[in-house]
Amino acid sequence: MSNYQMIAAAALNKPLAMEIGYARVFFSALGLRLGAESLVDAQGQEISRDGMKAVADSYVHPVTGEYRHYEIVDGVAVLPIHGALAHKTGNVRPKSGLQGYDGITTMLNQALSDPDVKGIYLDNHTPGGTVYGAFDTADAIRRANAIKPVWAIANDMNCSAGQLLAAAAGRRLVTQTGTVGSIGVVVAHADYEKHLEAAGIKITLLHSGSHKVEGNPYQALPKDVAARWQAEIDETRLQFASKVAEYTGLSLQAVLDTEAATYSGQSAVQIGLADELVHSADGVAMLAEHCRNLSKTLTIGNTSMSVANPAAAAATQSAAPAATAQTAAPAAEATTEQTLAVTTTETAASAELVVTLCADAGMSDQIANLVKAKLTEAGVKARLSALGGVRDALAAAGLGHAFTEVSAKIDDPAGMLQVALTHATAHSEDKEVAGQRAVNAAQPKQPDPKSAYSDPSRL
């Protein structure tokens, strides 16, 4: 008996607790393997064999031929982030109440390279998890938002490490019963010393190195160890709060003042940890509409741009000084926020200081440009920070080769975006061509009824 016959025996003629959208995909894929000619849903709608294949193909990545680990709804990849979060679980999707950061980044990267995905939606229901892996995953989400719009929803919870991930998204939604926050750190220590003593058990730990057995559960936690751990916890909380402040635009003090409290619904919006209160059924459609209204969304460093027409954006920017706010606003087809400029009467940074700052940032190729710009020390640092964001975003998108050309237009955000989009489009086309060539050259790897649905774990 094949695996598919065993799956059919377990799935057919029995009640299943399965989301209706995925049920359609599940039975389409299973039906193809069992030779079914059509599929009839609960509403009596018949799906032909070609229709079944089309439905099942929706879970196959068009470039790599691998299985998609997310559902696409109206151009939006819905990434489930459910359960406790942990480092390197080896599973892409949530399993037994546990989600791996490695699984989240795998889904994220797959969605970024998927030409059918216009936006990424983080569907969060998590109380948080380990610090290990959390910060790098949050940074990956932030970088992804520079390539495609990434939104997150507390549906109905993103707390602690989950809040860190949600904060990194470009827009944060919350349901009326959704809970966010808990920006703090906790460490638990178990002390079985008296219990073991009462049981007549004595455990001796032989060790080399005075710190080797710190925190063991067989003795009370020494005060000096507790103090050192507390300092480490406070440092981690500060790092956590700093990231949330950086991502959300809140002040660091405002984040720290939450004292790891949680907030629900409208309170989360009022405190600044969520941008909008929504119904859980509406969030994906809102992001889909947002993507339709934008040809691209680019967020680099402290610069945020939403552009429906890059050429119009460039024209609008150049014409802006000659237009009043009242006449320019209705005609503008693009919105630009530029916060990198430094307006000050301070003395420009010396050439020697510029050289040092550029070298420390690993961008010595920017020395000439920054010396010529005659920025203050603060201005140079801000510019390097922005350029670092550009470099990271381009690298994450596989466009590192475009950094020199893109960075040359750092004073012209619309022009910078246009150059980035040109390279991104060419890169996407190259990947699609390469992917198609790879498929044509290796037919056994091409998604078809014999291979695309041969992984039972996807059913």
User: HEC profile for 407-445?
Assistant: HCCCCCHHHHHHHHHHHHHHHHHHHHHHHHHHHHHCHHH
pLDDT at 143 exceeding the cut of 70:
yes
Please compute, for residue 364, the number of CA atoms within 13 A of its CA located in the half-sphere on the CB side.
4
Higher pLDDT, 389 or 212: 212
Pick from 3, 57, 48: which is nearest to 25 by CA? 57
Number of residues that this document lists for the chain:
459
Query: For a pLDDT cut of 90, what percent of the chain falls above it?
Result: 45
Give the distance from CA 459 to its chain's centroid.
26
Q: pLDDT tens, 105-142?
A: 999 999 998 999 999 999 999 999 999 999 999 999 99
What spatial distance separates the first Cα and last Cα of the chain, rounded to whole Å? Answer: 17
pLDDT at 325: 34
Mean pLDDT value across residues 138-156: 95
**Other CB atoms within 10 A of residue 363 CB:** 19
Contact 262, 159 (CB under 8 A): yes
Token code pair at residue 276: 């909008």
Token code pair at residue 252: 């660091």
pLDDT at 301 exceeding the cut of 60:
no
Of the candidates 160, 182, 306, 407, the residue annotated as catalytic is 160
Contact 295, 319 (CB under 8 A): no
Give the distance from CA 43 to its chain's centroid.
36
Q: Does residue 208 have an active-site annotation?
A: no
C-alpha–C-alpha distance, residues 338 and 323, integer Å: 18
Q: pLDDT tens, 153-193?
A: 999 999 999 999 999 999 999 999 999 999 999 999 999 99
User: What average pLDDT does the structure give for the chain?
Assistant: 78
Q: Please tell me the pTM assigned to this model.
A: 0.58
Pick from 184, 77, 70, 166: which is nearest to 124 by CA? 166
Contact 159, 116 (CB under 8 A): no
